[in-house]
DNA sequence: CTTATGACTATGA
DNA sequence: TTCATAGCCATAA
């Protein structure tokens, strides 16, 4: 069980990246994000050595098995702190609620306080 | 080869 | 500051 994450998507858009383990790499990186912290698609992509593949990271998250597999995809947000809309976990605000539960502070604008919770690689 | 799609990012008005 | 557009990579048709 595992390894076949990317194989599920393959329609037209992306995938094949999984052949390089891109998906798994994304999951591995996201898995390292501690609770109460968030990271960005570009950050994950950069850690993989491909800052331009931020969009593919998004796909990986979309296809991510979820917390059940140890992939807190809800901790992955936009570079400006915004959250995915209409695609996340089956409801808007759900992701935000999960982050708040972990202690992530949100700005009045509805964005994550990146200055405070942006995950930094050590 | 060109077009279309995509949980992104950067830039310009 | 917010909104709109372009660029980005990769795959499929």
Query: Residues A76, A78, A83, A86: what is their CA dihedral angle, to the nearest 10 degrees?
Result: -100
Catalytic residue among A29, A57, A71, A73: A73
Each residue of A30-63: pLDDT tens digit?
A: 999 999 999 999 999 999 999 999 999 998 998 8
Strand partners, A40: A77
**A23/A19 Cα distance (integer angstroms):** 9
Using pLDDT thresholds of 50, 70 and 90, give the confidence band for residue A81.
very high
Say what the pTM is. 0.89
C9 C1' closest Cα residue = A53
Distance, angstroms, CA A79 to C1' B11?
A: 15
Alpha helices by DSSP H, listed for A3-85, are 22-31, 41-47, 54-62
């Amino acid at each position: 069980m595992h390894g076949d994450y990317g194989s599920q998507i393959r329609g037209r858009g992306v995938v094949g990246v999984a052949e390089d383990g891109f998906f798994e790499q994304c999951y591995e990186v996201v898995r390292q994000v501690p609770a109460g912290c968030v990271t960005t698609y570009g950050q994950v992509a950069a850690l993989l050595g491909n800052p331009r593949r931020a969009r593919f990271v998004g796909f990986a998250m979309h296809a991510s098995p979820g917390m059940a597999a140890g992939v807190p995809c809800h901790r992955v947000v936009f570079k400006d702190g915004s959250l995915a809309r209409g695609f996340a976990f089956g409801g808007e605000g759900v992701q935000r609620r999960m982050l708040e539960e972990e202690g992530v502070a949100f700005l009045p604008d509805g964005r994550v306080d990146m200055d405070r919770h942006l995950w930094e690689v050590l």
